[in-house]
Structure 1
Amino acid sequence: MAAALGAALPGAAQAAPVVLVYHQVGASGGASLGIDPDALNRRIETLRRMGYRFVTASEAARAPASERVAVIQFDDGFESVYRLALPVLRAQGVPGTAYVIWSRVGQPGSLSAAQVQELRAAGWEIGAHTHAHAALADLSPAGLRRELAAPDQETGDAAPRCVAYPLNRQDARVRREARRQGLQCGVAGGPPTLGRADPMALPAPAITPWDDSLLPMRVRWGLDARAPLLLMGVTAPALDGVRGEHPATRPPLTWNPAHYELLGNGLISAAWRGERETRLAWREGAWSVNVAARRGVGPENGAYTGAGVALNVSPFTLAAGLDSSGPLLGGAVALGGYGELWGRASRLRDEWQWGWGGTFIPADYWVVTAAHDAAGTQLGLRAAVPWQSGEGRPLRLGGGYRWGEKPGPFAEAEYRVGSYAVTAELSGDASGERRFGVKFTSVW
């Protein structure tokens, strides 16, 4: 969305600040995991020619919107940052920002406490990458406090000012707890915002292996790897809707038009399970825009499109908008850091249709969901398998039951790669019919 607007209005969506995020130095491993020292040197020279001044993360969060500032960021605290990136940045007179996983300091391959102090003495900023690199948006309030607290033995008198959220996963609960821990800014990843970025969720567009050529264009227009996904999410439902008449149907059972408490900076998902469903969410400060579209529903090939604008006044969020049949209203209330309850009302065939639901996070990596509308009820439970905890436990298993329309049990498995996820679902009903579905999700 922001990238598309930026492409249409050159210069209007120029990212301020520009944040380049790397992990290992001198080793390959994906689009953003590794960078060669020579390539790092070229990136710095490119941005400098474009008029950017290099600062640390906390300085960028305080910089005026009109000033061109850039941040060179290294996540995870690999020892190669000290050996290979420090000499490059020192020769260029550029300060770096290293986000350290506190539990890994001193371990093989990671920065030692002495190296952390030397980076700080060289003008670098040392930020927090949490205690153990957990997926923060999946944690209970107690887990958030544990992960976002900085250990005194590692920081001494220099408490971190900023946090880089692991896997780019954060929400309003995470941002609030980061502020309570005294943090002044956070890096959330993702494409640039349309307005002034939230200092607790600064965007950091994904880099590409081709940035020797593409970096000037990406910086100018705010292009991110998710730009094609966002463009598809906006245009596909619209194009689908003009291909013929489709009878109006209900909103997706679990859609919350007042989505905010459990929203980071944005979300896009596309699902296929006998019908096609697309969802978009975009947050700007206390406001969010939430869009849902359904196509090919039931034997009548029904369709639904709805969009709401929501305003958060903690702990409440209120939403209003339009859908296929008329006005749309919504609301949500936060559950003290444990999730949210939500409700919506819309008109279908000249009658008001009500729906409600909730998401509850009783313990780390456990999620209980519920939803109800005129067509039926759904209850679900999902848990993360305690495997690869240092990568946010990427495998999740769950299941539940649906009553009403197409009743029966369902089971699901989700696998995450950073801020992307693929979910497979298998469901059945009393007649013995089996249905398979798949969903792709990207958050930032």
Structure 2
Amino acid sequence: MTWIVALGIALSLPWSTAQARPVVMVFHQVGTGTGLSLSVSPETLRQRVMTLRSLGYRFVTSTEAASASRADRVAVIQFDDGFESVYQLAFPVLRELGVPGTAYVIWSRLNQPGSMTTAQLAELRAAGWEIGNHSHSHATLSDLAPRGLQRELMPPSSQAGERPARCVAYPLNRHDARVRREAKRQGMQCGVAGGPPALGRTDPMALPAPAITAWDDTLLPLRARWGIDARAPLLTAGFIYAAADGLGSDHPPVSPPLTWNPAHYELLGNGAFSAMWRGERELRLAWREGAWSLNLAARRGVGTSQGRYTGGAVALNLAPLTVAAGVDTNGPLLGAALALGGYGEVWGRTSHVNGSWGWAWGGTLIPADYWQVTGAHDHSSTHLGLRVAVPWQNSEGRPLRVGGGYRWGVDQGAYAEVEYHVGSYGMAAEVTATGRFGVRFTSVW
């Protein structure tokens, strides 16, 4: 199974021998505040434009970048949220340099203090800028049921008679197949998803936008050349750890993680990584390339025997069905998942367990905005859980989530959990009725 982990390491390195195109630089405020991608000074903005120009890049809008060929060296200057400082401080600099920007607006904040006005957006459009959709209220789109997605992605009526938004920037970089489909229904031609570049052809509905760092004045040529994302060290370390943890191991093989879906696609963005410690250690990676996805899982230190598991599968989406095939520690692995009309998915898998074929199935249901029900069952365990996003900090996509559930069989008993999201990252803590404690780190893009 070493090749599976090696493949995971390779995918965790978002570099390719070809130029990473397009280069998308995402900012929010201009000239105020601190942070990595949240703010940029006018002087720094000017310098980064000049750096990319010296490397042969030309500047375009998001929609133009989505249709550019891979051989075309293009760059996008993107501003999320619609802060007024973009108009006041970034617009003069970029106008002087002859560079168009793309401003993604949170429509409910338009004409509010600190945000741009309708007149200012019109002036940006007249200067060649693109005005994009950043949702109605900056909701976490992947947490919404179909009606909520429609509400958040529908362009405002105030755009009637104006050129409607043709591209969407997914708030907090969180999206999935349901979100991308709804964006298309609303007339969007492209979407910006964050994260490292695709290994193959870029999906126009999920353009990469590697995270800006405080060191970009130095690292920008490397980011432009290779598409290096801030997640690269994290993903690489995670899978090197998984590989090293399994080297020379004589511990017995065990079954796959109970809730692991090898046909993960419907609720997947461009990628997801998670690391969990709850007595055992568990890593998962999912990576999407168009209609294909690769799903990897590794378990270590399971039970008193310190059992281990490594598995991987390649999945193909044939909407609404996704089929998967791969291998794991025990032999062949097959899986399938069925989309539930925008409300989630159900899935099943089969693999060798203790010398015979064993089945597992489960699902995730999103019955209402910010509510998620999960369930799974295999030969030895059953899981049922509920997670709800607390209606607090709505403008940040309700980052605080609470939940709980019950497990039968292995680790039997009730459990409770709390999770907090910071953008596209999340940290969760879990405690069981028996006093067992666990933590989970996640990163999506």
- Normalised by the length of structure 1, the TM-score is 0.97
Q: Please list, as runs of the form range in 1=range in 2, the aligned pairs for 1:30-109 lying within 5 A after superposition.
A: 30-109=35-114
Q: Is the 8 A contact 1:237 1:278 kept in 2?
A: yes
The equivalent residue for 1:416 is 421
Q: 1:126 aligns with which of 131, 136, 159?
A: 131
Q: Relative to 1, partners in 2 of residues 1:3 and 1:399: Cα closer, same or farther, differing over 3 Å?
A: closer
How far 1:415 moved relative to its partner? 0.2
The equivalent residue for 2:437 is 436
Gaps of 5+ in 2: 1-9
Q: 1:393 aligns with which of 398, 404, 418?
A: 398
The equivalent residue for 1:4 is 13
**228-237 vs 81-90, which deviates more?**
228-237
What is the DSSP-based 3-state SS (H/G/I as helix, E as strand, rest coil) of the residue aligned with 2:366?
strand
Deviation sequence 1:411-440 (CA, Å, 0-9, x none)? 000000000000000012xxxx31000000
Number of aligned residue pairs:
436
Q: Please list, as runs of the form range in 1=range in 2, the aligned pairs for 1:82-231 lying within 5 A after superposition.
A: 82-154=87-159, 156-231=161-236
Q: Is the 8 A contact 1:102 1:131 kept in 2?
A: yes
- How far apart, in 2, do the equivalents of 1:53 and 1:3 lie? 28
What is the DSSP-based 3-state SS (H/G/I as helix, E as strand, rest coil) of the residue aligned with 1:333?
strand
**261-270 vs 234-243, which deviates more?**
234-243
1:374 pairs with 2:375 = no
- How far apart, in 1, do the equivalents of 2:295 and 2:33 lie? 37
Q: Is the 8 A contact 2:14 2:229 kept in 1?
A: no
The equivalent residue for 2:4 is none
What is the DSSP-based 3-state SS (H/G/I as helix, E as strand, rest coil) of the residue aligned with 1:200?
coil
What is the DSSP-based 3-state SS (H/G/I as helix, E as strand, rest coil) of the residue aligned with 1:304?
strand
- How far apart, in 1, do the equivalents of 2:236 and 2:270 lie? 17
How far 1:221 moved relative to its partner? 1.3
Tell me the amino acid that sits aligned with residue 4 of structure 1. Answer: L
- How far apart, in 1, do the equivalents of 2:60 and 2:14 lie? 27
Q: Percent identity?
A: 67
The equivalent residue for 2:312 is 307
How far 1:30 moved relative to its partner? 1.4
**150-159 vs 405-414, which deviates more?**
150-159
Q: Relative to 1, partners in 2 of residues 1:186 and 1:355: Cα closer, same or farther, differing over 3 Å?
A: same
- How far apart, in 1, do the equivalents of 2:381 and 2:138 lie? 38
Tell me the amino acid that sits aligned with residue 379 of structure 1. Answer: L
How far 1:218 moved relative to its partner? 1.4
Q: Is the 8 A contact 2:14 2:198 kept in 1?
A: no
- How far apart, in 2, do the equivalents of 1:234 and 1:23 lie? 32
The equivalent residue for 2:411 is 406
Q: Relative to 1, partners in 2 of residues 1:5 and 1:21: Cα closer, same or farther, differing over 3 Å?
A: closer
What is the DSSP-based 3-state SS (H/G/I as helix, E as strand, rest coil) of the residue aligned with 2:266?
coil
How far 1:14 moved relative to its partner? 2.3
Tell me the amino acid that sits aligned with residue 436 of structure 2. Answer: R
Deviation sequence 1:251-297 (CA, Å, 0-9, x none)? 00000000000000000000000010000000000000000000000
The equivalent residue for 2:328 is 323
- How far apart, in 1, do the equivalents of 2:232 and 2:122 lie? 38
**146-155 vs 251-260, which deviates more?**
146-155
Deviation sequence 1:21-48 (CA, Å, 0-9, x none)? 0000001331100000000000000000
Q: Is the 8 A contact 1:3 1:223 kept in 2?
A: no
The equivalent residue for 1:298 is 303
- How far apart, in 2, do the equivalents of 1:41 and 1:187 lie? 23
Tell me the amino acid that sits aligned with residue 287 of structure 1. Answer: W
**219-228 vs 168-177, which deviates more?**
219-228
- How far apart, in 1, do the equivalents of 2:394 and 2:46 lie? 34
Q: Relative to 1, partners in 2 of residues 1:219 and 1:304: Cα closer, same or farther, differing over 3 Å?
A: same
- How far apart, in 1, do the equivalents of 2:86 and 2:159 lie? 18
The higher-RCO structure (CA 8 Å, 6+ apart) is 2
How far 1:13 moved relative to its partner? 4.2
- How far apart, in 1, do the equivalents of 2:191 and 2:176 lie? 11
- How far apart, in 1, do the equivalents of 2:223 and 2:208 lie? 13
What is the DSSP-based 3-state SS (H/G/I as helix, E as strand, rest coil) of the residue aligned with 1:88?
helix
Gaps of 5+ in 1: none
- How far apart, in 2, do the equivalents of 1:144 and 1:158 lie? 22
Q: CA RMSD in A?
A: 1.0
- How far apart, in 2, do the equivalents of 1:329 and 1:172 lie? 22
How far 1:152 moved relative to its partner? 2.1
Deviation sequence 1:211-262 (CA, Å, 0-9, x none)? 1111001111110000012212322211111042110001000000000000
- How far apart, in 2, do the equivalents of 1:327 and 1:240 lie? 22
Q: Which of structure 1's runs of 4+ aligned residues deviate more than 3 A?
A: none
- How far apart, in 2, do the equivalents of 1:345 and 1:279 lie? 18
Q: Please list, as runs of the form range in 1=range in 2, the aligned pairs for 1:10-25 lying within 5 A after superposition.
A: 12-25=17-30
How far 1:349 moved relative to its partner? 2.5
Q: Please list, as runs of the form range in 1=range in 2, the aligned pairs for 1:231-242 lying within 5 A after superposition.
A: 231-242=236-247
Q: Is the 8 A contact 1:3 1:222 kept in 2?
A: no
